[in-house]
Amino acid sequence: MQVAGEVDLPTVCAQLTSVQCYRGVVDIVLTTAAKRDPQNRALHFYQNGRPSTDTQGLHAFNVR
């Protein structure tokens, strides 16, 4: 799936949900997250209890 770098996820997800395309919601959210955080810093940050010293992880978490 190709996804633009800047996607208005709430709007797109609302549109997909309105036509009951839930798989599309999951696909676009996961694809966008992978594109925004290819090194999975946000996941690492989250799994390690959101340490305040991990500024890169915090940024990836907020962007994702």
pLDDT per residue rounded down to tens, the chain (64 residues): 666 557 789 999 999 999 999 999 999 999 988 888 999 999 899 999 998 899 999 998 888 7
Q: How many domains does the chain have?
A: 1
Name 6's Cβ contacts closer than 8 Å, sequence gap at least 6. none
Q: Is residue 56 part of a domain?
A: yes
Q: Is residue 4 part of a domain?
A: no
Q: Is residue 59 part of a domain?
A: yes
Domain that holds residue 56: 9-63
Q: Is residue 29 part of a domain?
A: yes
Q: Is residue 35 part of a domain?
A: yes
How confident is the model at residue 8, as a pLDDT? 87
How confident is the model at residue 36, as a pLDDT? 87
How confident is the model at residue 6, as a pLDDT? 73
Q: Is residue 21 part of a domain?
A: yes
How confident is the model at residue 4, as a pLDDT? 56
Q: Which tokens belong to 4?
A: 């633009």
pTM given for the model = 0.71
